[in-house]
Amino acid sequence: MTRRRWIADEVSGARASLLGRNAEHLARALRVRVGQEFEVSTGDAVRLGRVVHVADDRVELELGEFVPQKEPARITLLLAIFKFDRMEWAIEKATELGTAAIVPVIARRTEPHLASAARKRVERWRRVAHEAAQQSRRVSPPEIAAPQPLESALAVPSELKILLSESERSLTLKQAIAENSQLTQELPSAVDRQPSTVSLAIGPEGGWTASELTAFTAAGWTSASLGNNILRAETAAIAALAIAISEVQ
């Protein structure tokens, strides 16, 4: 039986603690007892943890052996801010799929009231990602950056930067990743591999403006397509992420 995994709120030496909602859920809903074992993520590794103390607001575990983990692909998702209920869904599913980071972007066509309220939503988005990371057995939740204008987000460090654009007709996302891999392999020091860091940019409702598309090109981004259909922002984010993960892992 697969052990449930928790992301520790505090780690000190060989002791980890779960606090707040996690502790309450363990103590009251799951009725955890001293001696039970779970997997515990310490942020950079996963270890076997044995419960040594239980209270409604704090559950402490003694950390034991390390649990082997596969190194994930590092994919950053630039997500132009859209309606918050749908954005939360996108963050949850992107976390489950394995994105390493999410950068909320204030685009020209982002609705003004959403842009102004976005900074107050960051902590909620991080809680959504934290819960989704535990549910999907990740080592750690993705980094959720503070909302920022596109001009700042364009500089995100990645080996491959891909803009998902409905105006692109010839190059698909899968082809864009494959072509980058072929170019990398031609370098004298390269080995047969896919890019280890990829950034994907998903536009707002109404799409990117002409000036924004020009800015992407100037910053070295490659335009790619997800197909002939026009997708909602949250659908495009999940489709793009699933394709990218399948190609780079």
The domain limits of the chain are 5-66, 74-248
Yes or no: say if 173 and 198 are a contact pair by the CB < 8 Å rule. no
Q: Reply yes or no on whether the pLDDT at 242 is more than 90.
A: yes
What is the rounded CA–CA span in Å between residue 215 and residue 220?
Answer: 9
Confidence of residue 104 (pLDDT cuts 50, 70, 90): very high
The DSSP bridge pattern shows strands 10-12 and 15-19 to be antiparallel
pLDDT digits (tens, 9 = 90+) for 160-215: 999 998 888 889 999 999 887 654 444 444 444 455 689 999 999 888 999 999 99
What is the rounded CA–CA span in Å between residue 145 and residue 10?
Answer: 22
Q: What average pLDDT does the segment 207-228 reach?
A: 94
CA-CA-CA-CA torsion sign (160, 164, 168, 169): positive
The predicted pLDDT at position 77 comes to 97
- Topology of the domain covering 74-248: Alpha/beta knot (3.40.1280)
The predicted pLDDT at position 182 comes to 54
| Average confidence score pLDDT of the chain | 90
Q: What average pLDDT does the segment 132-159 reach?
A: 93
What percentage of the chain reaches a pLDDT higher than 90? 73
Q: Which residues pair with 53 in a beta bridge?
A: 60
CA-CA-CA-CA torsion sign (224, 226, 230, 232): negative
Distances (CA, A) of 206 to 82, 87, 113, 237: 11, 16, 16, 15
Q: Reply yes or no on whether the pLDDT at 2 is more than 90.
A: no
Residue with the larger pLDDT of the pair 1 and 225: 225
- Topology of the domain covering 5-66: Ribosomal Protein L25; Chain P (2.40.240)
Of the spans 62-71, 102-111, 176-185, which averages the highest pLDDT? 102-111
pTM of the model: 0.84
Q: Reply yes or no on whether the pLDDT at 158 is more than 50.
A: yes
Q: Taking the mean position of all CA atoms in its chain, how far away is CA 73?
A: 11
